[in-house]
Amino acid sequence: MDFLTFSKKAAEYAAAQNITDYELYYQADSASQISVLGENVDKLTSSSVEGVSLRCIVGGKTGNASTENFTEEEIPDLFKRALQAAEIAEEGEQQDIYAGGSYQQLPAAKLPENDAAAEQASLLKAEGYALKADSRVQKGLMASMADISSKTAISNSKGLYLENSGAMTVASMNVVAVDEKGKKYNDHASAAKACGSEQDIEALANRAVEKTIAQIGASPVKSGHYPVIFDCSQMAAMLEIFQSAFSAQQAQTGMSVLAGKAGEKIASDLVTIVDDPFYPENFFQTAFDAEGVPTKTRNIVENGTLTTLLYNRATASKDGVESTGNAYRDSYASPVSIAPHTFYLKPSDMTREDLLKKAGTAVMITFMKGAHAGANAVSGDFSLESKGFLVENGQIVRAVEEITVAGNFFQMLKDISAVANDLKVNVEDGASCCGAPTVLVSDLAIAGC
């Protein structure tokens, strides 16, 4: 049965059992993907996954349960599991389910209607474009195109019913190049577009080739302290790694050094960080959060000062403030947590070229890896495998690899000495994503040779 029917049956069951405070959170994700290997189709996939979470509040105690089994028989079991969980929970701050608010109207998302045959045909040309772009590119290029759509809905005991959906097409390409000594280099490029709009495969291939070829001749730099330029993509990655420090949930449990810092200076004057649920290029804009609370655009950091942490209802109630509309579920089966929407460092009007000139000599980071282990949002410490370029006199002089960049994120926010105008947002990450322009950090440690 579909979710609407399921939610009506659940309402009948809840009424019969005198269950007064509950919320159903539904999510349906569909994806179809074509992957090619060189001139051949490699793999085709199609998935459609849907599930629902039930959250019950009984006497201030919250219990969760979820299922992917949309049958009438499943309903009593779902309630039973959630009520059992509520029994052992401590009485929390949150006593009730949200009744609703006033929501911004969003245009309906364009759903996938892409022509699979045309997508396949265009992808099969990718290798040709890449080989033409540079003779050092190897055959056996991997490319893929995925149509992704997601629908969420909330139905609760206060009579609130909300729906939202989004969709995008993501093309990506992975290029391997070999230098004259047989050493291999590898990079990739991807692009997210609205469903139905055309992907420029040739441009994407050229970008992936350009990124890969630029690494040829790379070697480490001497270990030491350097001014470091984070390419926009890597500064966005930094925000993504450390965004959980802005969560009131983390702060209230002593797992964020930003706890109690609202109103204080936490970053350089040049830093303004925006959280925008309506960022125009995000394909999963939303007018409500995972608890149904209306969302709002706000500056979380303004000219270096932390204005607020990100709140859901429970943490807001504990701090005696209003929810900021940042309740989030990683998937329908995850408990409610907190996350930003489109979370980005505001660009300035300085060009990237001028930022390089200002840096003079610096290491520019264009790639980082291993953040799940090499960076810790609780401490802010990071030490990450990196690649990039050596910048001298404001000019890129050579490629750099086999280095790590290490420091502390919260110190780094204070050490940002320039912000460029080239904002890039990783919209392919979906509803909760990060973005940044290229930045200059005055001092970080580089381990090399």
Partner 1 sequence: MIQTSVLEAALEVAVSTGADYAEIFAEDTVRGLLQFVDDSVKDTMSEHSVGVGVRVFKGVQSAYACSSGLSPESVMAAAKKAAAMIAGKGKGSVSPLISSTCMNISPAARIGSTVPLSDKVALAKRAYRAAREYSSEISQANIRLLDYDRNILIATSEGLHVTDRQVRSRIAINAIASAGNVNQVGYNAPGASKGYEFFDEIDLEAVAKDAARQAVTMLHADYCPAGRMPVAIDNGFGGVIFHEACGHSLEAQAVSRGMSEFAGKLGQRVASEKVTAIDDGTIPGAWGSVNIDDEGTPNRRRVLIDKGILKSYLVDKLNGRRMGLPTTASSRRQDYTFAPTSRMSNTFLAAGTDSDEDIIRSIDFGLYAKKMGGGSVNPVTGEFNFAVNEGYLVRNGQICEPVRGASLIGKGSEVIQNIDMVGQNLRREQGVCGASSGSVPTDVGQPMIRVSEITVGGRK
Q: Binders of partner 1 among 233-262, rule CB under 8 A?
A: 253-255, 257
3-state secondary structure (DSSP) of residue 244: helix
- Smallest distance, partner 1 to C-beta of residue 97, A: 17
| 68 close to 50: Cβ distance less than 8 angstroms | yes
What six digits make up the tokens of 150? 């997601």
Query: Of 6, 22, 51, 343, which one interacts with partner 1 (CB under 8 A)?
Result: 51
Q: Which amino acid is at 39?
A: E
237 vs 423 by CB, closer to partner 1: 237
20 vs 376 by CB, closer to partner 1: 376
| 327 close to 290: Cβ distance less than 8 angstroms | yes
- Smallest distance, partner 1 to C-beta of residue 344, A: 25
Rule CB under 8 A: say whether 209 interacts with partner 1. Answer: no
351 vs 379 by CB, closer to partner 1: 379
Stretch that binds partner 1, among 128-136, 218-226, 232-240, 419-427 (CB under 8 A): 218-226
Rule CB under 8 A: say whether 216 interacts with partner 1. Answer: no
144 vs 165 by CB, closer to partner 1: 144
Q: Distance between the two ends of the chain, CA-based, in angstroms?
A: 62
| 264 close to 305: Cβ distance less than 8 angstroms | yes
| 98 close to 293: Cβ distance less than 8 angstroms | yes
Q: What is the dihedral of CA 442, 402, 171, 48, to 10 degrees?
A: -100
Return the residues of window 383-442 that contact partner 1 according to CB under 8 A.
383-385, 401-407
CB burial string 269-298: b at 16+ within 10 A, e below: ebbbbbbbbebeebbbbbbbbbbbbbbbeb
Return the residues of window 144-183 that contact partner 1 according to CB under 8 A.
176
Return the residues of window 312-351 that contact partner 1 according to CB under 8 A.
333-335
Rule CB under 8 A: say whether 140 interacts with partner 1. Answer: yes
- Smallest distance, partner 1 to C-beta of residue 243, A: 16
| DSSP codes joined into one string, 193-222 | E-TTSPP-HHHHHHHHHHHHHTTTT-BPPP
Rule CB under 8 A: say whether 121 interacts with partner 1. Answer: no
Query: Of 82, 137, 213, 237, which one interacts with partner 1 (CB under 8 A)?
Result: 82
- Smallest distance, partner 1 to C-beta of residue 225, A: 9
Residues with Cβ within 8 Å of residue 401, at least 6 apart in sequence: 215, 218, 219, 220, 387
Query: Of 39, 87, 115, 198, which one interacts with partner 1 (CB under 8 A)?
Result: 87
Rule CB under 8 A: say whether 76 interacts with partner 1. Answer: no
Stretch that binds partner 1, among 138-146, 276-284, 299-307, 421-429 (CB under 8 A): 138-146
Rule CB under 8 A: say whether 214 interacts with partner 1. Answer: no
Query: Of 185, 230, 283, 409, which one interacts with partner 1 (CB under 8 A)?
Result: 185
104 vs 334 by CB, closer to partner 1: 334
- Smallest distance, partner 1 to C-beta of residue 352, A: 26
- The neighbour count for residue 66, using CB atoms within 10 Å, is 21
What six digits make up the tokens of 117? 């045959």
CA atoms of 326 and 292, how far apart (whole Å): 10
Query: Of 11, 20, 50, 298, which one interacts with partner 1 (CB under 8 A)?
Result: 50
Going residue by residue from 270 to 309, which x/- string records binding to partner 1, judged by CB under 8 A? ----------------------------------------
Query: Of 202, 381, 392, 429, which one interacts with partner 1 (CB under 8 A)?
Result: 381
| DSSP codes joined into one string, 123-186 | HTTHHHHHHHH-TTBPS--EEEEEEEEEEEEEEETTS-EEEEEEEEEEEEEEEEEE-TT--EEE
| DSSP codes joined into one string, 271-282 | --EEEETT-TT-
